[in-house]
Amino acid sequence: MANSASTARALAVVRQRLDETAAALAKADLNQLLACEAQLQAAVAALQVSNPAPHDHAAYTDDLREIRALVGRCRRLGTSMMEFVHITLDGIGTEPAAFTFRHSA
């Protein structure tokens, strides 16, 4: 059974992995981004099995706020990276395979 200490450790690892993911997105380092994906999945899985007591939830408010901010940062960086890919590929007359539907009508 998980305890408050394991939940705190799991939250810290999730924050660290999200920060690493954001750094990979900011540098457009696709190899690092792929490596971060597996590590982030493992961190979230560890967090899911931690089961803090109901009275401990308030102790994690700051951690969860920070995680939410990191997720938002990753979302913005990912959106920026996709826009860059679209602009670059549009400039050379092609588009990503997953988005071929956007010009067809």
Q: 3-state SS of the chain? A: CCCHHHHHHHHHHHHHHHHHHHHHHHHCCHHHHHHHHHHHHHHHHHHHHCCCCHHHHHHHHHHHHHHHHHHHHHHHHHHHHHHHHHHHHHHCCCCCHHHHHHHCC
Highest mean pLDDT among 11-25, 50-64, 72-86: 11-25
pLDDT tens digits, residue range 14-58? 999 999 999 999 998 889 999 999 999 999 998 888 877 667 777
Indicate whether this model's pTM tops 0.85: no
